Structure 1
Amino acid sequence: MDGTLLKPVIDFAEMRRRVGLMPDQGDILDVINRWPEAERARAYATIAEIEEQALRDMALMPGALELCGFLDQRGIPRGLITRNVRRSVQHFHDFLGLVPFKPAITRECEFPYKPSPAALQHIASSWGVEIGQVLMVGDSVQDDVVSGNRAGAITVLLDHAARRGPESFSGERRPTHVVGSLTDLQDLLETSYTLLPPPFQKATVLTTQD
């Protein structure tokens, strides 16, 4: 959600500092999950405190409501893969005031974290579509784009600076498209894709990320 559908309000560098991790110590959740139970509980309590403040500061990205409405009107399903917890996702859905993202996969689910393609593959399967009919949208090259490319989806990098094109990246980090906003994403979908709801075989469907 953060950085894609919601304005980023969490200082992740500060989160790492408060938990007790240096910048070069790897993925924060992977590292914490290897700690002894007491240390792990303390770290997750700190993260929960920071995330609770983020709920109070929640603000939608420009174009988020319009994009969701655009997809809903056409019967295009939209899913969510996030490192947030279920409580945060529920708060987000209440805040959004529209049809929820479904499925909404959180860090409390059994799937490995991005850039693993597992959660995205599950979403495609739950919708009854081929993975190549799914658009994976997110603001992280390493997590969102790599996850989507590994799964075999169409990938869209949300780059708010809008200074880079797909050719700026290589290998599995190269997105199919780069857009500068969710409004630009809607324009891309309208002009470059035929959007048909499942179970049509030519459908293109969308799942958005953190």
Structure 2
Amino acid sequence: DSDLFLLNGRTLWASEEGWLVFDITATSNHWVVNPRHNLGLQLSVEIWMDGQSINPKLAGLIGRQGNQNNQSFMVAFFMAMAVHLRSICSTGGKQHSQNCSKPPKNQEVLRVTNVAENSSSDQRQACKKHVLYVSFRDLGWQDWIIAPEGYAAYYCEEESTFPLNSYMNATNHAIVQTLVHFINLDTVPKPCCTPTQLNAISVLYFNDSSNVILKKYRNMVVQACGCH
């Protein structure tokens, strides 16, 4: 009888095959903060044309009865606010376990960021594509470019912060660099949000001999962004 709200969804063709990746960061963070309110996750499959619900097994999803290598799983990275060291302290010749008021030498209490900070609201600031329209007239190129008058170039911006979810298109190097950044905040920077896929545009223009030329310019439009 609980109220359900959509976390993530995918639109698929019947011929597709492979892993499905869903972002459940908001729920995992909620479980960490409120472990008693862990009500689980519900997966549903609907036909796109009429919205009719069907059995996920009939749709081809492999459940618990399938091959072990194809079992669904959740990947999470948890960080405690503080790691409390429990040391063996000696009193009157007898050793017993207790929380010592002062940690022994060469031992440090590790303090890192709370996992709740990586909430779904933070993910809104994740690396993504933004709108950028380039007008050739604004650039002063209208005298030699015939068409188009401009084009949607787009650009990449925002943070490449942990966790680097699947939609961030992060490289393995970026994932490792992010982890090292948590350890050495002042020496290792975060990965950069850059274009990972670029498309071409066709431009009709006058060359130096006043001939009309149609040329395709590569890598002009940002198609996708990612963390590198």
* TM-score, normalised with respect to structure 2: 0.22
Higher relative contact order (CA 8 A, sep 6+): 1
Of Structure 1 and Structure 2, which has the larger fraction of its residues in helix? 1
Larger Rg: 2
* TM-score, normalised with respect to structure 1: 0.23
Of Structure 1 and Structure 2, which has the larger fraction of its residues in strand? 2
